[in-house]
Amino acid sequence: MASFEHRGSTVRAVVRLPGGAKKTATFDTESEAKAWAARMEFKKDIGQLRPGKAGSATNGDLFELYLDAVASKTDSAKWNKLRLMKWLNDPLADKKVSATTTHDINEWIVRSLSQPNERTGKPLSPATVNRELNLMSGAFTYAVKSLRWISLNPCHGANRPERGRPRKRPLLTDEEIKAIRISTGYEADPELRTLTARVGACFLLALETGMRSGEILRLRPQDYRRAARVIHVSALEPGGRKSSRSGRASVDPSRDVPLTAQAVKLLDQLVASMPKDQPYIVGVSDSQRDSLWRKARGQAGIEDMHFHDTKHEAATRLAKYIDVLALSHAIGTKDIRLLRDTYYNADAQRSAALLPPALRSSS
């Protein structure tokens, strides 16, 4: 019989296996934990769940183990859980880890590209499948380096989908921004008494600073240096900009973000109305921000707009006032090419207005 352990805001399910071994997984809710435990008990009853051995372990076993040991402890824990649990219903999950080849991964890629997006109903984009492949590769790397189940990662050398062009959305119009101010309730609630109004303030703050949603939601009062008109983004906070995937960066990835007068006003509003017993200024969780933002965007009648589009908008605006290196540091983009190709909208007409009559004298 499965047992359940409550650990803060999570629930750990434990299923006992023959011989004293056990299988565990951690979930956000008790209902998720019970559903997983029921599935494991069923697999145990029909003989499919046995103590893990390198030669007999399936990819499904690996995915569940990787989720509990690694993927559930990252900033992307919610996304990781959805992906890894989805893969348990894929034919790849039943194949033994030791027998999995790059060909099997290629077949999974083809299947994934034909699957509909759960939210939009459209086929998964190459970018989404590439992100999922990165997660899967992480699981097989865990099998290679930590579990010693296999010697080679079958994801290496897989036929990755070709990357499409970066998403290009026109800059936000004043009408769209005003619609979001109204639909979030920010316009009518400057004291930010509701969570939706606080999400509206986050949206406007992102437009002024280029900070990511996760960075804004983890700002602390001590990070705000009002007199200097800067706010510190800590990479040590969950959701903060990391130094590198390997963790072996040679520079501190934390940064100070310069603030406009409007950004100072927004932060003053957020600090003044900061919820009690909260370590962070905004007091809104990632899932709350996501659901409230989607609802407000729908009420505003705006299509094809993501919260992350604010980074593109802010980069284009800030580029008029600060040089490219300062801009890269301000919005937390280490790759200048990414800044040029994705986050910055070049304004050729404005550039033309700055040019002299001729670059070189004709005489």
Tell me the CA distances in angstroms from 322 to 255, 258, 316, one per residue in order: 16, 10, 11
CA distance 258 to 265: 13
pLDDT attached to residue 257: 92
Q: What pLDDT, on the 0 to 100 scale, is given for residue 185?
A: 94
Q: Based on the domain organization, do 230 and 309 belong to the same domain?
A: yes
Backbone angles phi, psi at 177, to 5 degrees: -65, -40
For residue 172, the model assigns a pLDDT of 84
- CATH code of the domain covering residue 229: 1.10.443.10
Beta carbons within 8 Å of 33's beta carbon, 6+ residues apart: 4, 11, 12, 13, 25, 26, 27
Q: 204 and 272 share a domain?
A: yes
| CA–CA dist 96, 100 (Å, integer) | 6
Indicate the pTM of the whole model. 0.67
Evaluate whether residue 166 is within a structural domain.
Answer: no
Grouping H, G, I as helix, E, B as strand and the rest as coil, residue 160 is coil
pLDDT at residue 106 in the model: 95
The answer to whether residues 188 and 140 belong to one domain is no
The whole-angstrom separation of Cα 189 and Cα 183 is 11
Whether residue 138 is found in the same domain as residue 179: no
Residue ranges of the chain with pLDDT lower than 70?
1, 17-22, 47-55, 119, 164-167, 235-252, 338, 340-351, 353-354, 360-363
Same domain (yes/no): 12, 50? yes
How many domains in the chain? Answer: 2
Secondary structure percentages of the chain, helix, strand, coil, to 5: 50, 10, 40
CA 38 to chain centre: 30
Neighbour count for residue 103 (Cβ, 10 Å)? 11
Rama region for 40: left / alpha / beta (φ>0; ψ in -120 to 50; rest): alpha
Residue 97 and residue 11 in one domain: yes
Rounded-to-integer distance, Cα 318 and Cα 107, Å: 44
Determine the pLDDT at residue 43.
77
Q: Give the model's pLDDT for residue 300.
A: 92
What is the tens place of the pLDDT at every residue in 321-362?
888 788 888 888 777 776 766 666 666 666 676 677 777 665
Position 246 scores a pLDDT of: 40
- List the domain range (segments joined by +) for residue 180: 175-238+253-348
